[in-house]
């Protein structure tokens, strides 16, 4: 809350094994709902995938508590089935709908549209830390680190292994090819993200800008919560096509 992601990653590099995360509690969520209720009578809370975090459950518990405390405030809680900037794209779709004057159900529908087609691809610089997310056994991460391989992960409801490469260059090429295959030259919304790897992320952004028909293209930094499992050096993309053609 009071330091930047880059500052958090510096602490991570100093002592990775002492870097921990915890989910927000129902009380934390309720306080956010209280603050939001001062600004608007309708609240849409979009959370991390339930397969990655308990935040969705905490927000729903807070929603139940808010029914008595905040009468007249409508609260919807939505599982994004995602994380990283792909979750942000879902939230942004809802925010844009709200800015256009649409009501809560309409905002929810706009968010659902993006949720159904957004993709996230992430290249880890090391497999060393990913066991902490519960996605791979610790021994596998130790062996993978010793072999110096880099996994590519996709995020859709849960985290999936999308491939393994020997070098960052191979990983970037694989991600770009996966984007080509899924987009088929359609106009696209894209976010490039990184964990303490700004230079690499900027290069990836330049390549995407040169090759794809981007309606919007922005650069963001992984939250330290993601960096906890991914480690520094991680780069990736989140994207979705402008039309509703199935991928």
DSSP annotation of 233:
T
User: Rounded mean pLDDT of 123-131?
Assistant: 71
- Residue 109 belongs to what domain range? 26-117
Alpha carbons 213 and 141: distance in angstroms, whole number: 37
Is residue 118 within 8 Å of 239, Cβ to Cβ? Answer: yes
Q: How far is CA 167 from CA 106, 124, 151, in A?
A: 44, 10, 10
- pLDDT for the residue numbered 227: 67
Do 9 and 95 lie in a common domain?
Answer: no
Domain end call among 81, 101, 117: 117
Q: How far is CA 134 from CA 6, 99, 212, 235, in A?
A: 24, 38, 34, 20
The predicted-structure confidence for 64-115, as pLDDT tens digits, reads as follows: 999 999 999 999 999 999 988 999 999 999 999 999 999 999 999 999 999 9
Please tell me the chain's helix, strand, coil percentages from 3-state DSSP, rounded to the nearest 5.
Answer: 50, 20, 30
What tokens were used for 202?
């900027």
- pLDDT for the residue numbered 134: 55
| Positive or negative torsion for Cα 33, 35, 39, 45 | negative
- pLDDT for the residue numbered 246: 45
The predicted-structure confidence for 6-27, as pLDDT tens digits, reads as follows: 787 777 777 777 767 778 999 9
Do 225 and 131 lie in a common domain?
Answer: yes
What tokens were used for 81?
């089935």
Do 148 and 108 lie in a common domain?
Answer: no
pLDDT for residue 133 is more than 90: no
pLDDT for residue 178 is more than 70: yes
53 belongs to a structural domain: yes
Do 174 and 157 lie in a common domain?
Answer: yes
Do 105 and 222 lie in a common domain?
Answer: no
Do 98 and 201 lie in a common domain?
Answer: no
196 belongs to a structural domain: yes
User: Rounded mean pLDDT of 27-54?
Assistant: 94
Identity of the highest mean pLDDT range in 6-10, 46-50, 58-62: 58-62
For residue 199, which of 178, 172, 181 has the smallest C-alpha distance? Answer: 172
246 belongs to a structural domain: no
Domain end call among 100, 117, 134: 117
Do 62 and 122 lie in a common domain?
Answer: no
For residue 132, which of 55, 220, 54, 18 has the smallest C-alpha distance? Answer: 18
Which pTM was predicted? Answer: 0.85
217 belongs to a structural domain: yes
Give the residue with greater pLDDT, 156 vs 122.
122
The predicted-structure confidence for 155-173, as pLDDT tens digits, reads as follows: 877 778 888 888 889 999 9
Q: Give the pLDDT band (50/70/90) at residue 139.
A: very low
Give how many domains the chain has, as a whole number. Answer: 2
For residue 237, which of 160, 188, 175, 180 has the smallest C-alpha distance? Answer: 175
Domain with residue 111: its CATH number is: 3.40.50.10440
**Angle formed by the axes of helices 168-183 and 198-211, nearest 10°:** 30
């Amino acid at each position: 809350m009071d330091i930047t992601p880059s500052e958090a990653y510096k602490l991570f590099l100093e002592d990775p094994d002492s870097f921990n995360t915890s989910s927000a509690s129902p009380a934390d969520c309720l306080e956010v709902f209280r603050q939001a209720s001062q600004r608007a009578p309708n609240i849409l809370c979009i959370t991390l995938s339930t397969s990655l975090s308990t935040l969705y459950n905490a927000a729903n518990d807070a929603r139940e508590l808010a029914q008595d405390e905040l009468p007249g405030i409508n609260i919807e809680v939505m599982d994004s089935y995602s994380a990283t900037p792909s979750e942000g794209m879902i939230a942004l779709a809802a925010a844009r709908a709200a800015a256009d004057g649409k009501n809560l159900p309409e905002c929810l529908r706009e968010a659902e549209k993006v949720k159904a087609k957004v993709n996230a691809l992430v290249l880890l610089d090391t497999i060393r830390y990913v066991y902490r997310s519960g996605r791979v056994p610790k021994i596998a991460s130790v062996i993978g680190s010793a072999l110096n391989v880099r996994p590519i992960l996709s995020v859709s409801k849960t985290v999936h292994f999308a491939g393994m490469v020997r070098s960052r260059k191979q990983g970037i090429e694989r991600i770009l090819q996966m984007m080509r295959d899924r987009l088929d030259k359609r106009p696209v919304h894209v976010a490039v993200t990184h964990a303490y790897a700004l230079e690499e992320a900027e290069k990836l952004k330049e390549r995407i800008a040169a090759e794809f028909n981007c309606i919007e293209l922005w650069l963001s930094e992984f939250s330290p919560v993601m960096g906890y499992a991914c480690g520094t050096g991680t780069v990736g993309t989140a994207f979705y096509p402008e039309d509703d053609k199935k991928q």
